[in-house]
Structure 1
Amino acid sequence: MNATGNQRTGRNLPAAIGVGVALAALVIGSLYTFKAIFLIVVAAAVGLGVHELVKAFASRDIRVPLPVQLVGLVAMLAGAYYGGPVSLVGSFALTVMVLLGWRTFQGADGFVRDATASVFVAVYPSLLAGFAALLLQPDDGAHRVVIFVAITVASDIGGYVAGILFGRHKMSPIISPKKTWEGFAGSALACVAVGAWLVCWLLGGALWQGAVLGAVMVVCATVGDLIESIIKRDLGIKDMGTLLPGHGGMMDRLDSLLFTLVPCWLLLSLFI
């Protein structure tokens, strides 16, 4: 069973589980001690993801300034947590201005290509990661982050189990050959169940609110995973890195998390 699972998903399952548990412990431990520690964890993880993207673009002769990207990431996270959505948008806009100005002084050849890639990295992952800080802002922010992480992880686990047991019909053979509609159904069931349970238990919301949150997030998590897959195909790489055994690079772990942040923040802001 393990050998079959590894062949069908391309994962080292024991290593993937070990890394997942370690990351979950780090996130929860930082959330319920001092919130600023969690922001540092986010900055470190997303910063590694930014480095992986910059390195991947460089393999295709696309120049993205890493120092500016990292400073912009920190500014967006801090701005979002201490100043809210307006500061997040302002920090992002300033980051884009600096990126464009930085590239201007390196000549006209390839300007549009490099500038577009630089703005892309500033959005994905940095701007999207800023919504983790917005999610953390309220007094019950730690609970909100736990719900966000738990639903996204449920999507991954539910999809993995259902895909291994029942997966037959490919979702998108060209983009991600291992994804199946049966796996997506497993993800959906897991996300709806976990969302309904945690929103009711941790935030005192209604079961239907948690179910809606889970249903929206499973779609976004799947889209996020497919988007990263097509980025890797376009760049001609299998994984963004090798940092996390059983997962690949940091961006291979962040892809679905990034795409679920915005809808999670919006819906919890509306519901609670």
Structure 2
Amino acid sequence: MGVGLGALVIATLYTIKELFLVVVVAAVGIGVVEMTRAFASRGIRVPVVPVLVSMAAMQAGAYWGGPAWLLGVFVVSVFVVLIWRMFTGGDGEGEQGQGAAGRTAGYVRDATGSVFLLVYPPLLAGFVALLLAPGDGRDRVIVFIAVTVASDIGGYVAGVLFGRHQLTVISPKKTWEGLAGSVVACTLVGGWLVTWLLDGQIWQGALIGALGAVLATVGDLIESMIKRDLGIKDLGTILPGHGGLMDRLDSLVTTLVPVWLLMALFF
């Protein structure tokens, strides 16, 4: 499954860049649907249609307009979901189907969940488009993805071989040794790819890799906290052996912003 997803990324990324954006929109869109269903299991109603439209608009705005457009579309989207929920009840019925009490009950709960789902993952995923937009955007995206994948692989291998000391009770299988393995793997991959693909310095790639390792681990822990709070094991079942797409995107979306920032500064 991992090899197939990697092949899809490379095939679209190095043919027509906009095709890769379509893949990103599809993947993040599935992740949003998974999250809305998970939230609904605890009575948190998120309007999936405006969130999905906003996610696609953020990708387009970021790619063709830059950071200002990404931020602008996000702010407009926040008001859209707040107003949308104002005229629909907690069960999605229109204004005519409910009284005032039915429309206002749970408004803060649903509005908070909706804004959260505009940030995680749509707003964060918008930085993929910002990475992709420059002339060397394809290579920047490859560095970002490779570093994040190296974090998972390095952490898994080191954790299985040497893991003894638990990192946190949030995710009992994570160990300090696994985190060290993630940092080492990411530092090596980052240093190698940045010098090869982006003509950067080894220390720049190593810094990107080390930061990516830490934040990828944080992303896994955030996802674990969400699932524990919702009382579910996986957010979906679309990827055999992996769970849902959000179970794979968690470390990617938390790594995106700082990696984009460092690349913008360095290159």
Give the TM-score normalised by the residue count of structure 2.
0.94
Deviation at 1:247, TM superposition (A): 1.1
- CA offsets 1:27-58 (integer angstroms, 9 cap, x no match): 11110000010000000000000000000000
Q: 2:13 aligns with which of 13, 31, 55?
A: 31
Give the unaligned 5+ runs of structure 1: 1-18
What is the rounded CA distance, in whole Å, between the counterparts of 2:138 and 2:156 in structure 1? 27
After the TM superposition, list the runs of 4 or more consecutive aligned residues in structure 1 that deviate by more than 4 angstroms: none
What is the rounded CA distance, in whole Å, between the counterparts of 1:227 and 1:40 in structure 2? 26
Q: Which has the higher contact order (CA 8 A, sep 6+)?
A: 1
AA paired with 2:266? Answer: F
- The aligned counterpart of 2:49 is 67
Deviation at 1:224, TM superposition (A): 0.6
- The aligned counterpart of 1:207 is 202
RMSD: 0.5
Mapping of residues 78-93 of structure 1, within 5 Å: 78-93=60-75
What is the rounded CA distance, in whole Å, between the counterparts of 1:247 and 1:259 in structure 2? 19
What is the rounded CA distance, in whole Å, between the counterparts of 1:267 and 1:178 in structure 2? 30
Deviation at 1:233, TM superposition (A): 0.1
Q: 1:225 aligns with which of 220, 229, 236?
A: 220
What is the rounded CA distance, in whole Å, between the counterparts of 1:263 and 1:248 in structure 2? 26
- The aligned counterpart of 1:11 is none
What is the rounded CA distance, in whole Å, between the counterparts of 1:240 and 1:160 in structure 2? 21
What is the rounded CA distance, in whole Å, between the counterparts of 1:20 and 1:180 in structure 2? 23
How many residues align? The count is 253
- Residue identity (%): 66
Deviation at 1:245, TM superposition (A): 1.4
Q: 1:242 aligns with which of 229, 233, 237?
A: 237
- The aligned counterpart of 1:132 is 128
Q: 1:186 aligns with which of 181, 193, 202?
A: 181
- The aligned counterpart of 1:121 is 117
AA paired with 1:105? Answer: F
- The aligned counterpart of 1:15 is none
Give the TM-score normalised by the residue count of structure 1.
0.92
- The aligned counterpart of 2:95 is none
User: Is residue 147 of structure 1 aligned with residue 143 of structure 2?
Assistant: yes
Secondary structure of residue in 1 paired with 2:104: coil
